[in-house]
Amino acid sequence: EAEVAQSPRYKITEKSQAVAFWCDPISGHATLYWYRQILGQGPELLVQFQDESVVDDSQLPKDRFSAERLKGVDSTLKIQPAELGDSAMYLCASSLAAWTGLETQYFGPGTRLLVL
């Protein structure tokens, strides 16, 4: 069964350093999402892509976070500089078609970030 791939699975970094996370969605999925999940809370959407275009990045802290999906396939989320409050699980998800509100999102295993 096809799955969403993410790497690394774990990342420990010091504050002010740069970190990057990678996501490879299920083949053929046009929509890709990045979520941040703080321990004990539900995931919150950071950015949504439709193919290579950003559809929603209203909750992305753009002073330090950036996301790209250059060829409309895999995606990278970057944080520079990392802050203590960025410690969280970063989840990538994908869904099949152009957004209709009816399809399921498939989630990857996540990247757990710890900022010291």
Q: Which is nearer to another protein, 1 or 71 (CB)?
A: 1
112 binds another protein (CB under 8 A): yes
Q: Which is nearer to another protein, 42 or 71 (CB)?
A: 42
Report the alpha-carbon angle 17-35-115, nearest 5. 25
Q: Which is nearer to another protein, 74 or 81 (CB)?
A: 74
List strands edge to edge, sheet with 5-7. Answer: 5-7, 19-24, 75-79, 65-68
DSSP category for residue 51: T
Window 91 to 110, contacts with another protein (CB under 8 A):
91, 93, 100-102, 104-110
**Shortest Cβ 42–another protein spacing (Å):** 3
**Shortest Cβ 2–another protein spacing (Å):** 14
Whole-number Å distance between alpha carbons of 98 and 83: 34
